[in-house]
A and B are shown apart, each in its own frame.
Chain A
């Protein structure tokens, strides 16, 4: 028998028919679909019992209370807001909600690392043990003890016990060079120091204000404590609040804050403080100012009045700000008549210091209407009554070296004010001024990416023999480190979070580990204590604690001893509604009770402390608010009358206007991170495709400007300043002022992980800063730029 083709086809047809009449193909189709849902890279949630642990978010300084849900107490699966926490009242921002991507993300550093080859080369950054890492560091510190002043620490975190431990270590070791990353607090604290004799920081009673004028502050885009600001904004718009609060946004760019305000005053680039002075002039000349306060409690008002009359009349200010004269007058009248009214300063999110005089211009407006230290106004930030640690023990070396001039020049002959001038440190080190920096410690900071004008930072690092990073993540600065001592993330460690920026009541938050550290990381506080012990002598004597936890507890005992304030243990607590200055009975009996409650609820708050009074609150030579600063003269600042008065002075932006016809200004977005962390994938997902598309960054340009240059939406251009060039695409929007190019900061990472590396460009690379000759602060606000189509 021969099986011919026909017979074979029949056999096959029969087979296919038989199979079709069985469950095989249908089951296979269904199961294949299910199989495709189970590919190995698909995340699978852990199964088991769930528990919730409260802690405080540390991804920004906003200090929100968060709850972390854990499966089997091991795997964190979600973060949401803690409703008992007064700052965020159960709310959470996209960054806070994405916190787990920092815990589980691939840019975590798993062990201590040592650079064995060329700095910056990740291949030669080799894992070593903690014992080895600490021994290397201790040996170096022992060797350079006679040059103790050469130890530098830069912290991106300004407040809290961990930065205090870093500062303490430097003090005990003998270095005056504890520095913080630049921020608006630098300008504010100097401004407060020269006008009120108290370095602040500032707090705003915004929940109780009836009118808010923001001079460029991105009040709902990350300025101050972001979630608190959103809550305050909600209150301003709520009828339950006894009517609405009027919000005026003075800003060059049509930002989200501008679009959510009752009114957007589109001011000429950099001219916000000039408008503040223009408003002040109208209030003074029309006699709307608070005479009780101004006559009794201020000094130098006549000089200020003369200056206003001479330089800041509506006509003159209209010319500077390009805001109509009538608008200036109307704003002034409204600001003076609405009570309470408050003016906000600090451009954007307050990541850049800006000028002290910008702050003084705005603050003088608050002073004129009597909004200083008043409900609905501006005051100083109350601090929790923490106990002091024992005094630092000094030996001959530390006594000698801590008296050395600081490498940032602060309190020196050129810049006598007590400021933080990291940019000036960079300049001095890269130019080889003063004395060499031998070793730099970087904590919660990423200056290689973040500082405006990044090139000098790299030049400065080249001059420093040893760079040590404490970062949990492989950021750009850590990549340049010689030694990496990785810390745990905020979800794996204990740390305090004190009153966040701008908040008017005292807060002590306990950020606690919700799970054990995932990797071989160590708490920077513990590292410092161990390091001090191995150095011995007075440094060891200055760190008498077993570990960081005992050092922290020692301070918290102060709150128990003061026996005031409460642990927020129920939803809906609104500390700003009560009267400040009335004793708030504690809901804890002892330190142990307080610590237990803090571990459960995480937030202690207090409104017992009254705002400083007009009679005794000003620590200036005159005992009054000084429009004309005597304090500046006292510390040795010499200049014309103008130097001592709030005034407006715009430094020429870098670049020849003929070659660079446009102005480049940066802006900050709430969903593009600046600072020691980069965007998590969740956050980057929130960017529109006219902000980031693939790896392309966009800049905003006014459609008219674009038309003049023959540019269309999405065109690729080269953005060139004196400092360098970046390739970007253009987004045409009416929110951009004609002839100004707006670029967001926070993108263009060259380190971290594949989710963010190479996405967009780093605007900081081509921005040029100007140094204020009086304070030494970087006051950059714009850089001249040209655009070439590519």
Chain B
């Protein structure tokens, strides 16, 4: 190989390596990183939204309710389950575990939250759902047809689920609806 050819060849190798690095970087950034960043958590027992609505004829508010003082009650409590599930209602494994592990020992079900807000944000469901009359699905996924509770992806670094709303989403909507975007509206 002549000196000239050698130079050309090494230039080519350089470019190949650059592209390999670039591809590797893109792969890590787009594929590997999200896999590493999120851990997967499963609900303690499977909750079938569809069956409760279709067969039991329940409405969302039966479990996702507001307290008397207007604040949102958060995760459904065991007491709501016990109203119907003091005895097993079917033969699924989840049903059996619900009664054996939670209803009988009177232990709250440790539901994993799909959308836990950070502590430094003040968010009022009442203001959005009751006053602004927003649909739940404006922010949360539609669960009406769900027969399986999907796993929850939790960010290992922040500890929050991936469905958490980012600040720009709040701001965009507030701007659209001509609601103040002052810091202290959300950060009390």
Q: Is B30's CB under 8 angstroms from A23's CB?
A: yes
Interface size on B, residues (CB 8 A): 34
Please tell me if the beta carbons of A19 and B28 are within 8 angstroms of each other in the complex.
yes
B17: contacting residue among A14, A23, A24, A34, CB under 8 A: A14
Residues A18 and B21 in contact, CB atoms below 8 Å apart:
yes
Also in contact, A22 and B118, with CB within 8 A (given A7-B14, A7-B17, A10-B17) = no
Pairwise interchain contact A4-B10, C-beta atoms closer than 8 A: yes
Query: Which residues 40-91 in A have Cβ within 8 Å of B in the complex?
Result: 42, 44-45, 47-50
Q: Which of B14, B28, B34, B74 contacts A10 (CB 8 A)?
A: B14
Rounded to whole angstroms, the CA-CA distance of A15 and B24 in the bound complex is 6
Bound Cα distance from A469 to B19, whole angstroms: 77
Docked Cα-Cα span, A386 to B48, in Å, equals: 61
Which of A4, A8, A13, A15: most chain B Cβ within 10 A?
A15
Say whether A32 faces chain B, with CB atoms less than 8 Å apart. yes
Task: Select one of A4, A11, A47 contacting B20, CB under 8 A.
Answer: A11
Assembly CA distance A32 to B27 (angstroms): 22
Chain A residues with Cβ below 8 Å from B19 are 14
Q: Are A31 and B158 in contact (CB under 8 A)?
A: yes
Per-position 1/0 for B145-177, Cβ under 8 A of A: 000000000010111100000000000000000
One of B18, B28, B71 near A22 (C-beta < 8 A):
B28
Contact at B21–A22, with CB atoms within 8 Å?
Answer: no
Given contacts A18-B24, A21-B29, whether A31 and B155 have CB atoms under 8 Å apart is: yes
Q: A34, B160: Cβ atoms under 8 Å?
A: yes
Instruction: Tell me if A640 is interfacial: C-beta within 8 Å of chain B.
Output: no
**A50: which B residues are within 8 A, CB to CB?**
67, 69, 71
Q: Which residues of B contact A11 (CB under 8 A)?
A: 17-18, 20-21
Residue from B10, B21, B118, B157 within 8 A of A15 (CB atoms): B21
Asked if B111 is at the interface (CB within 8 A of a chain A CB), the reply is no
CB nearest to A33 among chain B residues? B158
Residues of the B chain whose Cβ atoms lie less than 8 Å from the Cβ of A4: 10
A202 → B minimal CB distance (Å): 43
In the complex the two chains form, what is the Cα distance from A18 to B28 in whole Å? 8
Q: Report how far A7 CA is from B19 CA in the complex, Å.
A: 11
Task: Please report the C-alpha to C-alpha distance between residue A21 and residue B20 in the assembled complex, in whole angstroms.
Answer: 14
Contact B24 A23 (CB under 8 A): no
In the complex, are the beta carbons of A44 and B119 less than 8 A apart? yes
A8 to B158, CA, bound (A): 34
**The one of A7, A21, A28, A35 that contacts B25, using a Cβ cutoff of 8 Å:** A21
| Chain B residues, Cβ within 8 Å of A19 | 25-26, 28-29
- Which residues in window 269-297 of A have CB below 8 A to B? none
Q: Report yes or no: A24 in contact with B18, Cβ–Cβ below 8 A.
A: no
Asked if B160 and A18 sit within 8 Å, CB to CB, the answer is no
Q: Nearest-CB distance from A295 to chain B (Å)?
A: 63
Contacts of A3 in B (CB 8 A): 17
With A14-B18, A37-B120, A49-B67 already in contact, the answer to whether A23 and B25 are too (CB < 8 A) is no
CA distance A15 to B19 in the complex (A): 8
With a cutoff of 8 Å between Cβ atoms, the chain B residues found around residue A14 in the complex are 17-25
- Whether A13 contacts B18 by the Cβ 8 Å rule is yes
Give the nearest-CB partner of B17 in chain A: A11
Closest-by-CB residue of B relative to A17 is B22
- Smallest CB separation, B80 vs chain A (Å): 13
A42 to B15, CA, bound (A): 49
Given contacts A14-B20, A37-B118, A49-B73, contact A22 B26 (CB under 8 A): yes
- Which residues of chain B have C-beta atoms less than 8 A from A28's C-beta? 157
B100 located at the interface, meaning its Cβ lies under 8 Å from any Cβ of chain A in the complex: no
Flag whether B136 is at the interface (Cβ < 8 A). Answer: no
A396 lies within 8 A of chain B by Cβ: no
Distance to closest chain B CB from A51 (angstroms)? 9
Q: What residues of B have a CB within 8 angstroms of the CB of A10 in the complex?
A: 14-15, 17-18, 21
- By beta carbon, the residue of chain B nearest A21 is B26
Query: In the bound complex, do residue B25 and residue A15 qualify as a contact, i.e. CB atoms below 8 Å apart?
Result: yes
B42 within 8 A of A: no
Nearest 6 pairs between A and B by C-beta?
A22-B29, A18-B25, A14-B21, A15-B21, A14-B22, A14-B18
Show 5 A/B contacts (Cβ-Cβ < 8 Å), sorted by A.
A6-B14, A31-B157, A35-B158, A35-B159, A37-B118
List the interface of chain B (C-beta within 8 A of A): 10, 13-15, 17-30, 33-34, 37, 67, 69, 71, 73-74, 118-120, 155, 157-160
9 other contacts beyond A18-B24, A25-B29, A37-B119, with CB at 8 A cut-off? Answer: A6-B10, A14-B23, A14-B25, A15-B25, A18-B23, A21-B29, A23-B33, A48-B74, A50-B69
